Amino acid sequence: RTVLELAGVHKSFGETEIIRGVDLALIEGERHAIIGPNGAGKSTLFHLISGQLQPTRGTITLDGRQIQGLEPRVINRMGLARSFQITNIFPGHSVFENLRFGILRRYGLQYNFWRRVAQVRRITEETEQLLEELRLLKSRDVLAGELSYSEQRSLEIGMALASDPRVVLLDEPMAGMSREETDYTVGLIRQLTARRTLMIVEHDMDVVFSLSDRVSVLVYGQIIATGTPDEIRANRQVQEAYLGTEVSV
Ligand code: ADP
Ligand code: MG
Ligand code: MG
């Protein structure tokens, strides 16, 4: 079953067309990596899907409903969440407060006292459960700004998951991490997305090929190939256009 579908998506900034006709369908439950050289338009594609940007042309469909042009928070409420390439947490608040904020957003604030008493308890429980899944429970009361770099990135992923999305987009979640931190985060992402559909931008080919069910290669705003990791690795066009070249972030 297709969860997310892009059809004929274009995006121009002024005279320059950055996304040049992307067709892509994500199957429910798959982990789908987007790879491609720096400047290919990977982040732009994410902005288009999550509503930060609007396509110049084309349609984006989530669970059968067209979402292009809708506001990010509306798309989020429909079940799609994302992280950003640049960390987006509240450094002056505790880890717990950061996550609770994300979960609160899902429930919305309803000013019925009795309902809120029950909600607060449930939200606290959910927040602590998410903290445990993120392996951050021991840092519950630490200020987010004082976490290690990789813990901050874990929290960032948690912020995206706080809305309990069916579809998650992660833009270079492992950027700047050491080998050990990367391995740790790959395991975390695998676990956290076990029952979700994942679209991930990542440069590290070991990570891409071990984490993904399918891979799409974006070069200058066009997808030149989609396939399993083995198919992508064996694809001559991909090797020439991308895999053979030095990757810069
Ligand atoms: P990637 O994530 O693949 O590295 P981006 O999507 O960030 O690539 O950028 C693709 C191209 O679009 C780059 O050449 C970038 O300079 C350009 N670009 C991105 N955002 C804007 C914008 N708001 N206005 C003009 N050009 C942009
Ligand atoms: Mg880039
Ligand atoms: Mg990018």
pLDDT tier at 105, thresholds 50, 70, 90 = confident
Which ligand 1 atom is at minimum distance from the Cα of 45? 6
Q: Which residues line ligand 1 (CB under 6 A)?
A: 13, 18, 36, 38-44
CB within 8 Å of 39: residues ≥ 6 apart: none
Q: Picking from 7-16, 28-37, 41-50, 75-84, which range would have the lowest pLDDT averaged per residue?
A: 75-84
Does the pLDDT value for residue 104 go beyond 90? no
Nearest residue (by CA) to ligand 1, atom 11, is 39
Find how far residue 119's CA is from the centre of its chain. Answer: 27
CA of 39 to the centre of ligand 1 (A): 6
pLDDT tier at 118, thresholds 50, 70, 90 = confident
CA of 239 to the centre of ligand 3 (A): 21
| ∠ Cα 40 45 49 (to 5°) | 175
CA proximity to 170, closest of 145, 189, 152, 195: 189
**CB-based contact 131:123 (threshold 8 Å):** no
Q: How many CB atoms lie within 10 A of CB 236?
A: 8
Question: How far apart, in whole angstroms, are the C-alpha atoms of residue 79 and residue 102?
Answer: 14
Q: Domain-by-domain residue ranges, the chain?
A: 29-54+66-79+166-249, 90-164
ipTM associated with this complex: 0.96
More confidently predicted of 20 and 122: 20
- Strand-pair partners of 171: 201
What pLDDT does 247 receive?
45
Nearest residue (by CA) to ligand 1, atom 25, is 13
How much of the chain, in percent, has pLDDT values that exceed 70?
93
Q: Which fold has domain 29-54+66-79+166-249?
A: Rossmann fold (3.40.50)
CA proximity to 220, closest of 19, 55, 85, 35: 19
**What is the number of residues in the chain?**
249
CA of 158 to the centre of ligand 1 (A): 26
Q: What are phi and psi of 19, to 5 degrees?
A: -110, 120
Q: What is the pLDDT of residues 129-160, one digit of tens each?
A: 999 999 899 999 999 999 998 899 899 999 98
Question: How far apart, in whole angstroms, are the C-alpha atoms of residue 165 and residue 163?
Answer: 6
Does the pLDDT value for residue 111 go beyond 70? no
Query: DSSP letter string over 126-155?
Result: HHHHHHHHTT-GGGTTSBGGGS-HHHHHHH
DSSP secondary structure code for residue 247 in this structure:
P
CA of 159 to the centre of ligand 2 (A): 22
Hey, which of 9, 13, 50, 52 would you mutate to test ligand 1's pocket, going by the most ligand atoms within 8 Å of its Cβ? 13
Q: Which amino acid is at 60?
A: I
Which helix (H) or strand (E) segment holds residue 174: the answer is: none
Q: What is the pLDDT of residues 163-198, one digit of tens each?
A: 889 999 999 999 889 999 999 999 999 999 999 999
DSSP alpha helix (H) spans, 59-172: 72-77, 95-107, 113-133, 149-161
Tell me the average pLDDT across 211-222: 96
User: How many CA atoms does the CB half-sphere of 249 hold within 13 Å?
Assistant: 14
Q: What is the pLDDT of residues 18-60, one digit of tens each?
A: 999 999 999 999 999 999 999 999 999 999 999 999 999 999 9
What radius of gyration, in Å, describes the C-alpha atoms of the chain? 19
CA of 84 to the centre of ligand 1 (A): 14
What pLDDT does 232 receive?
94
Does the pLDDT value for residue 83 go beyond 90? no
- Strand-pair partners of 16: 13
What pLDDT does 190 receive?
94
pTM: 0.90
pLDDT tier at 85, thresholds 50, 70, 90 = low
pLDDT tier at 243, thresholds 50, 70, 90 = low
